[in-house]
Amino acid sequence: MTMATWAADCAERVLPLFEEAYPEDNRPRNAIEACRAWVRTGVFRMAEIRGASLAAHAAARDAKKNDAACFAARAAGQAVATAHVPQHAYGAAYYALKAVAAVDMVNAVMNVIREREWQAERLPERLREEIMERIVVQEPRSGVSIKLKKGEGF
């Protein structure tokens, strides 16, 4: 439940990037709300979780001309999927960082580093290093690169 709460928090931070661009589309918000409902009640209905995740990812595809909105919707889809597979929480944080980078390319490095620090601070200390070492922010010559390291245990 800790990972799902963290994933929902990460996704919710960037949700305004989607909602400002697509105010009539509530699929990403519904996904985050489904995630929070699962955490709050412990009631897991695979059809609801899967449906909310797929709907948020469909919203991301519909927003493909707006990278920040697209990544924000993907973050929501990954967050709710954490109910099914905890590793999806990494995806929520990863896509949230990509959304932050996409919204302001000039200040992307600084904004992504700040957002990643915010994400790390919300994790219990016992999990922080293990989780955040998989979410890698690099500064190539131009811009920022965000990678999700998969491997053993993923």
Q: List pLDDT tens digits, range 19-45.
A: 999 999 999 999 999 999 999 999 989
Cα 47 to the center of its chain, rounded Å: 21
Query: CB–CB of 59/18 below 8 Å?
Result: yes
Ordered alpha helix ranges (H), 22-139 = 27-41, 46-62, 67-81, 88-103, 108-121, 125-132
Q: List pLDDT tens digits, range 90-133.
A: 999 999 999 999 999 999 999 999 999 999 999 999 999 989 99
